[in-house]
Amino acid sequence: MGTRMKTTIDIADNLLARAKETARRDQTTLRSLVEKGLHTVLDRPNKAAHVRIRPVVVHGGKLTPEFQNATWEQIRDEIYRGRGA
């Protein structure tokens, strides 16, 4: 089973109450319930490692005539115009 170490955690009152009720109903301890939950989360595969992101490519290459000589600040201001920013 391995060694055990005592620790203190701070969790929401409603979550603790639900966990205690579940442990009581399942006739187990709160410690066992917490360990089972941690194993469930820590043993699942890392989904982020399997995500494949495809680059977005926009063809055209040029800005519209009114923005060809604009600064980034001018382009940004136009993007956000009327949006309260």
What's residue 84's pLDDT?
72
Could you tell me the residue range of the domain that residue 52 belongs to?
A: 9-85
Half-sphere exposure (Cβ direction) of 6: Cα atoms closer than 13 Å: 0
What's residue 85's pLDDT?
57
Q: What is the count of structural domains for the chain?
A: 1
- With respect to residue 1, please indicate whether it lies within any of the assigned structural domains: no
- With respect to residue 58, please indicate whether it lies within any of the assigned structural domains: yes
Task: Give the model confidence (pLDDT) of 62-81 as tens digits.
Answer: 888 888 899 999 999 998 99
List the one residue out of 64, 50, 52, 4 whose CA is nearest residue 31.
4
- With respect to residue 3, please indicate whether it lies within any of the assigned structural domains: no
- Beta carbons of 29 and 23 less than 8 angstroms apart: yes
- Residues in the chain predicted with pLDDT less than 70, given as ranges, are 1, 47-49, 85
